[in-house]
Chain A
Amino acid sequence: QSVLTQPPSVSGAPGQRVTISCTGSSSNIGAGYDVHWYQQLPGTAPKLLIYGNTNRPSGVPDRFSGSKSGTSASLAITGLQPEVEADYYCLSYDSSLSGYVFGTGTKVTVL
């Protein structure tokens, strides 16, 4: 069981906006450690989507955005299109575990 909790699934109609939460604690997100987000399309390796809470690597469209507050972080996806159907994971450092932890993962479905 991960220390970073995400909703198992979120869905939305094409064009809509969805958000994915990543809830942690005072030993990880709440301690100030950065949150990074990864997208995993079916059958492929994960891809870095957001790093350092809010930053997009080169090539990632601006429909993806990240935020962080307190012991939680969020990933927002706007203008939903079928190509964003994937699993999404947050990642942060946990001081009590002395290592990194992934969130439980969220499957995004475009209705």
Chain B
Amino acid sequence: QVQLVQSGAEVKKPGASVKISCKASGYTFTSYALHWVRQAPGQGLEWMGWMNGGNGNTKFSQKFQGRVTVTRDTSASTVYMELSGLRSDDTAMYYCARELSGGGGSWGRLGSWGQGTLVIVSS
């Protein structure tokens, strides 16, 4: 079955960077797009960006452009999301989520989700 397993919680100081991993299993890694979504404590969901499963191209929300990098290791079926210049309002649960349908492209149908990675930014 499809599984997305994310790395563990992180505590970072303001200005630092954090790199979260999302290891996929149970499907052909390069056939499905992966998205990143975050949720601040007590707040709603916020879409951050996505990576095309086929060619690895990425697209991010304007809010995060210049601060977020998404890379992948296809041999390890793992996607990495790095957020730099951390601020206290980046404290949130970060999720990776896979598209429901294959083909590598994005439709916003996030059919499988990781368990989430809590990032706390505090001095």
Report A's interface with B, CB cutoff 8 A: 2, 34, 36, 38, 40, 45-48, 51-52, 57, 87, 89, 91-93, 97-105
A46 touching B44, Cβ below 8 Å: no
Report B's interface with A, CB cutoff 8 A: 35, 37, 44-47, 49-50, 59-62, 95, 97, 100, 106-111, 113-116
Q: Which are the 3 A-B pairs with shortest beta-carbon distances? A: A45-B113, A105-B44, A51-B109
Inter-chain CA distance A57–B109, complex, in Å, is 10
B110 touching A101, Cβ below 8 Å: no
Least distance between A33 CB and chain B CB atoms (Å): 8
A101 touching B47, Cβ below 8 Å: yes
- Given A57-B100, A99-B59: A48 in contact with B109 (beta carbons within 8 A): yes
Least distance between A1 CB and chain B CB atoms (Å): 11
Beyond known contacts A45-B113, A102-B45: 20 more, CB 8 A cutoff? A34-B107, A38-B110, A46-B37, A46-B95, A46-B110, A46-B113, A48-B111, A51-B100, A52-B107, A57-B111, A87-B44, A97-B61, A98-B59, A99-B47, A99-B60, A99-B62, A100-B47, A100-B50, A100-B106, A102-B47
Inter-chain CA distance A33–B107, complex, in Å, is 9
